[in-house]
């Protein structure tokens, strides 16, 4: 093999579910449906499927049609009938370290049922949407599972988003109910989630009720008739710990999750009960070799797809013990995560390159202070991992014992698509090859495959069970965005190259999406926030390379007459974006510009701004307006 290669140890191979990667890949290549049917057979179905894959209306693929199932039943109820009943399902630690809470599968079931009964009592029925906007606390998991259990569609909005982003997601989903908490903690600071909800709800006529979980205990306004404290509801007779699971069609929606694309309006990615369940279960099991002794820690927030698939659903489907931490990596000290791995005996640790890069900067002494010998496997997701960070993670955290699973996937794919398993030789910075049953290609503008080691558009060739089914309320945009450029192939929006060993190397997004610390944001959303400021006539946002964040947001603003380009105004505009869209979207810099480079048809040429900002050649300027 070419380049720097890390071969798996005999121990990794011996413990792996998939000892012969090539053989399983070959069997999935020959019989895609057979491969997935066999995996699906490991889960519980009220009624089995008539057909594994229905591609008669592609690109609206359907999986396990005719089957009856509920993902929540597979996450919780099935384990109650086994020795797992008293096994820990969830260990949670608060940011300040003053409290930890643990839930066995038995008590998880009681919590989920209680929440489900409360949601039902609020008039929520099968197919209704429920927006969940909370910090990283156990109740967010209970709320998601409770919705799934009764057949409601959850729409989780990341707690780091603010008023405008939340408002748009609530009103687009036409949610009946909001589940939130009074506040959350971020590096010791209070984020007033309930107040953000109140502001967001000003023009959301569909919302009938708001359930508020008490987390921080600070004073919050409660609107009579609409807002209810969760603990008060729990005291009522309706809130008992038993609730029947709704029998769903495999293709019934499980959740929508808004993600950023090329326009200002976020896309509501829709996932279903059956296929999503089979996809997340199988990938987590094979890629992280999850077994009963594992304590699995995924540092993602439930507000992103990684949190949905691999903090909540995947690990529960495999019957693992989940570790969930409310806080971030370096508060109060840069050893917080390492201390938690030691204290709770975490065996599989899945995080993002941006966090690794940030923690690297504090030096090795912090992790070296801790016994990390419980770790067996590491994982990375969200953005390309630079080889330097990969090697540090491997050497300093994994002690050269733990392979790193660099998993490439998207909100849209629902599950890992390009990823190693523990028996695959690794190259730092590459997600290796597509998962079983998948084939990827690198194409040029015209749709021809490019030569090895050349950059092009990354596409996926085969359907997979956890694929999004559509964009909620916008099927045309689904076809247009993902299936139009190369008919019959799924357009990922990423550029990549493949090396001579067939390994894929992701380069980055080719559209107007920026990955800031692994968080997905759209340039258009940032521009929409800027334009609501009275001084802004026009603006453009771009992503530029950043040492820790991967990419950072830079904005160019053309001011309205009468406004002077001052430092203070620049700072005010940065704050403005943070207040409207969320602190994660705060621009690194806001610069003032007399004229934005545009095409003759009036489209902003972000590519030109990007090149200029980096001192690179500006490329073809023939379409630039005079």
Which stretches of the chain bind ligand PRX, using CB under 6 A? Answer: 259, 304-306, 380-384, 406-411, 431, 492-494, 506, 509, 515, 520
- Is the Cβ of residue 257 or residue 320 nearer to ligand PRX in the bound state? 257
CB of 383 to ligand PRX, least distance (A): 5
- Is the Cβ of residue 334 or residue 403 nearer to ligand PRX in the bound state? 403
How many Cβ atoms sit within 10 Å of the Cβ of residue 534?
Answer: 8
For residues 47 and 54, give the distance between their C-alpha atoms in angstroms, rounded to a whole number: 17
- Which secondary-structure segment (H or E) carries 192? none
For residues 411 and 268, give the distance between their C-alpha atoms in angstroms, rounded to a whole number: 10
Give yes or no for a cis peptide into 332 (omega within 30° of 0).
yes
Give yes or no for a cis peptide into 509 (omega within 30° of 0).
no
- Is the Cβ of residue 94 or residue 462 nearer to ligand PRX in the bound state? 462
Structure tokens, 3:
């380049």
Residue pair 441/461 in contact by the 8 Å Cβ criterion: yes
How many Cβ atoms sit within 10 Å of the Cβ of residue 40?
Answer: 25
Q: Quick one: which of 524, 480, 26 has its CA closest to 260?
A: 524
- Is the Cβ of residue 431 or residue 587 nearer to ligand PRX in the bound state? 431
DSSP SS3 for 266: coil
Q: Quick one: which of 348, 347, 329, 351 has its CA closest to 339?
A: 329
Phi-psi region of 613 (alpha: psi -120 to 50; beta: other; left: phi over 0): alpha
- Is the Cβ of residue 116 or residue 397 nearer to ligand PRX in the bound state? 397
- Is the Cβ of residue 214 or residue 485 nearer to ligand PRX in the bound state? 485
Structure tokens, 320:
């693992």
CB of 214 to ligand PRX, least distance (A): 30
CB of 172 to ligand PRX, least distance (A): 18
- Is the Cβ of residue 366 or residue 409 nearer to ligand PRX in the bound state? 409
For residues 279 and 53, give the distance between their C-alpha atoms in angstroms, rounded to a whole number: 13
CB of 350 to ligand PRX, least distance (A): 11
CB of 508 to ligand PRX, least distance (A): 6
- Is the Cβ of residue 290 or residue 506 nearer to ligand PRX in the bound state? 506
CB of 496 to ligand PRX, least distance (A): 9
For residues 443 and 268, give the distance between their C-alpha atoms in angstroms, rounded to a whole number: 27
- Is the Cβ of residue 253 or residue 493 nearer to ligand PRX in the bound state? 493
CB of 568 to ligand PRX, least distance (A): 34
CB of 60 to ligand PRX, least distance (A): 20
Biggest CA-to-CA distance, the chain: 73
CB of 457 to ligand PRX, least distance (A): 12
For residues 497 and 499, give the distance between their C-alpha atoms in angstroms, rounded to a whole number: 7
CA dihedral (421, 425, 431, 437) in degrees, to 10, reads: -50
């Amino acid at each position: 093999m070419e380049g720097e290669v890390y071969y798996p140890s005999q121990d990794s191979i011996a413990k792996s579910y998939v000892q012969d990667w090539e053989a399983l890949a070959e069997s999935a290549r020959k019989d895609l449906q057979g491969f997935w049917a066999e995996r699906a057979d490991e889960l519980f179905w009220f009624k089995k499927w008539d057909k594994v894959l229905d591609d008669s209306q592609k690109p609206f693929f359907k999986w396990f049609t005719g089957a009856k199932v509920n993902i929540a039943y597979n996450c919780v109820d099935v384990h109650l009938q086994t020795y797992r009943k008293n096994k820990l399902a969830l260990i949670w630690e608060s940011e300040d370290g003053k409290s930890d809470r643990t839930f066995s599968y038995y008590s998880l079931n009681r919590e989920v049922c209680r929440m489900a009964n409360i949601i039902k009592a609020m008039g929520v029925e099968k197919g209704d949407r429920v927006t969940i906007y909370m910090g990283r606390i156990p109740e967010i998991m209970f709320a998601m599972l409770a919705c799934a259990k009764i057949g409601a569609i959850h729409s989780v909005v990341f707690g780091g988003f603010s008023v405008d982003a939340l408002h748009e997601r609530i009103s687009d989903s036409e949610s009946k109910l909001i589940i939130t908490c009074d506040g959350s903690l971020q590096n010791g600071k209070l984020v007033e989630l309930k107040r953000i909800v109140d502001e967001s709800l000003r023009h959301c006529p569909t919302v009938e009720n708001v359930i508020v979980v008490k987390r921080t205990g600070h004073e919050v306004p409660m609107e009579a008739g609409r807002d209810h404290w969760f603990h008060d509801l729990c005291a009522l007779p309706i809130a008992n710990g038993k609730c029947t699971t709704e029998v769903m069609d495999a293709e019934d929606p499980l959740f929508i999750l808004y993600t950023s694309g090329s326009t200002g309006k976020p896309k509501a990615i829709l996932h279903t009960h059956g296929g999503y369940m089979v996809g997340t279960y199988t990938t987590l099991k094979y890629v992280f070799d999850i077994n009963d002794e594992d304590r699995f820690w995924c540092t993602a927030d439930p507000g992103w797809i990684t949190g949905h698939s691999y903090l909540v659903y995947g690990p529960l489907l495999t019957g693992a013990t989940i570790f969930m931490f409310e806080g971030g990596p370096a508060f109060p000290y840069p050893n917080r995560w390492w201390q938690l791995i030691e204290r709770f005996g975490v065996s599989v640790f899945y995080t993002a390159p941006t966090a690794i890069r940030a923690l690297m900067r504090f030096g090795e002494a912090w992790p070296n202070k801790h016994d990390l010998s419980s770790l067996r496997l590491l994982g990375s997701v969200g953005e390309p991992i630079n080889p330097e960070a990969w090697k540090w993670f491997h050497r300093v955290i994994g002690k050269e014992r733990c392979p790193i699973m660099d998993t490439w996937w998207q909100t849209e794919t629902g599950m890992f698509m390009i990823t190693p398993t523990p028996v695959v030789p690794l190259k730092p910075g590459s997600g290796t090859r597509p998962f079983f049953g998948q084939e990827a290609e690198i194409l040029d503008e015209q749709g021809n495959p490019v030569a090895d080691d050349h950059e092009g558009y990354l596409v996926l060739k085969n359907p997979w069970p956890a694929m999004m089914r559509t964009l909620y309320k916008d099927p045309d945009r689904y076809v247009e965005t993902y299936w139009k450029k190369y008919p019959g192939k799924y357009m990922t929006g990423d550029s990549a190259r493949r090396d001579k060993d067939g390994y894929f190397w992701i380069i980055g997004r080719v559209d107007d999406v920026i990955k800031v610390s692994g968080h997905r944001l759209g340039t258009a959303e940032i521009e929409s926030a800027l334009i609501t400021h009275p001084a802004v006539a026009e603006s453009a946002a771009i992503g530029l390379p950043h040492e820790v964040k991967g990419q950072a947001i830079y904005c160019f603003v053309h001011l309205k007459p009468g406004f002077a380009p001052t430092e203070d105004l620049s700072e005010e505009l940065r704050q403005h974006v943070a207040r409207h869209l969320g602190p994660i979207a705060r621009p690194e810099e806001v610069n003032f510009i007399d004229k934005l480079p545009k095409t003759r048809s009036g489209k902003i040429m972000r590519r030109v701004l990007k090149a200029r900002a980096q001192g690179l050649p500006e490329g073809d300027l023939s379409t630039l307006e005079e």
